[in-house]
Amino acid sequence: MSEAPALTAAEVEEKLLRGPFHQWLGLKVVSVGDGEIELKARWRPEWVVNAERGYVHGGILATLVDLTADWALVSKTGRGVPTVDLRVDYHRAAMGGDLTAKGKVVKFGGTLSVAEAEILDQDGKLLASGRGVYMTAPAK
């Protein structure tokens, strides 16, 4: 199994932002390392599910867990990879403000890999975390 050449944060961001949904989320790649990534997601009022309480829909947090864990694998694959399985745990409500997403590879394999992510609020409080299994077999 061969690994992709190292990519800069700017190169990863260019690949990531090819997706219109990722653009809509307002993603910025802060850093990329060996099996690690840190992203920022710019606050959007459309994320709010409960107008009276003002908290973010859990699907936004799950999305950030999935794509951050997925893109942590980019340092190994050079590309985003399909999700096979995903588990998300919610720790507290996201109440507004930009979010930080940190991901890391747990196990890199020739066919399947495991990565995890944490989503933090502006104060560094943990909002959600999760782990995914991703198809990392070479692209054909």
pLDDT digits (tens, 9 = 90+) for 62-85: 999 999 999 999 889 988 899 999
Q: Please compute Rg for the chain using Cα positions.
A: 15
**SS3 for 99?**
strand
Does position 1 have pLDDT exceeding 60, yes or no? no
Q: Domain boundaries in the chain?
A: 9-135
Tell me what pLDDT residue 138 has: 86
Nearby residues of 23 by Cβ (< 8 Å), 6 or more positions away: 17
pLDDT digits (tens, 9 = 90+) for 81-127: 999 999 999 999 999 899 999 999 999 999 999 999 999 999 999 99
- The whole-number average pLDDT for the span 1-6 is 63
Across the chain, mean pLDDT equals 94
Distance CA 86, CA 58 (A): 14
Superfamily of domain 9-135: Hotdog Thioesterase (3.10.129.10)
